[in-house]
Amino acid sequence: MARVRRAPVLRYLLLALLAAVVGLNVYALNAERLAGNRLPMPFGYGAAVVLSGSMEPELSTGDLVIVGDGGPVEVGDVVVYQDGNLLVVHRVVETEGGVMVTKGDANNVADEPVAVSAVRGEVLASIPFLGTVVSWLKSPVGTVLVLAAAVMLLEAPRWAERRREEEERRAVLAEIERLKRELRR
């Protein structure tokens, strides 16, 4: 009997999402390890996770900020800049020449002056709590689980097909045995 196979659209969408997660992880890891770039920005946009409450109430720990390759840095902009191996998300409170001073909204004291060239981009938007998920997906455990999920999505239909074939084979063998018994009578 011929079976009609429906398109496994959901499975392909999940696989595409998982491939994107793995691809972005590999891209970010290479950018960080090879170029020392903690915030790669393909096509002029990137994402960073807020790691502290220094920007409360506007940004909270665990928020994901979308960063754009903005124009000139101006007072009042919330920017992401790289300070050594850390990314800092703070508001610009003063600029003079090629130097700026930033401060977290919840902080009492401004940061040390930093070169404007350290700015990776301006915060365009934030998505509450999504940064926690992104951080987990970028962790070794998260990456392994994403890869395991991809394997399961690829292999589960094959396992189901093998099970169906085995059931059909057993049904055919049972029918052959039944027919043999019937012929012996």
| Domain CATH for 117 | 2.10.109.10
In angstroms, rounded to a whole number, what is the distance separating the alpha carbons of residues 133 and 142?
A: 9
- Give yes or no: residues 91 and 160 share one domain: no
Residue 106 in domain: yes
Q: What's the pLDDT score for residue 31?
A: 60
Q: What's the pLDDT score for residue 32?
A: 61
Token digits for 24? Answer: 């972005």
- Give yes or no: residues 52 and 115 share one domain: yes
pLDDT confidence bin for 37, thresholds 50/70/90: low
Residue 1 in domain: no
Closest CA to 50 of 100, 6, 105: 105
- Give yes or no: residues 59 and 92 share one domain: yes
Residue 184 in domain: no
DSSP 42: G
Residue 25 confidence (pLDDT) above 70: no
- Give yes or no: residues 120 and 147 share one domain: no
pLDDT in tens, 141-178: 887 887 788 778 778 778 888 899 999 999 999 999 99
In angstroms, rounded to a whole number, what is the distance separating the alpha carbons of residues 99 and 83?
A: 14
- Give yes or no: residues 148 and 81 share one domain: no
pLDDT confidence bin for 124, thresholds 50/70/90: very high
Catalytic residue (choose from 52, 60, 135, 139): 52
Chain mean pLDDT for the chain? 83
- Give yes or no: residues 108 and 150 share one domain: no
- Give yes or no: residues 57 and 83 share one domain: yes
pLDDT in tens, 55-98: 999 999 999 999 988 778 889 999 999 887 788 999 999 999 88
Which residue carries 């049904």 as its tokens?
171
Annotation says 54 is catalytic:
no
- Give yes or no: residues 153 and 104 share one domain: no
- Give yes or no: residues 103 and 152 share one domain: no
pLDDT confidence bin for 105, thresholds 50/70/90: very high
Provide the number of structural domains found in the chain: 2
Residues spanned by the domain of 77: 43-128
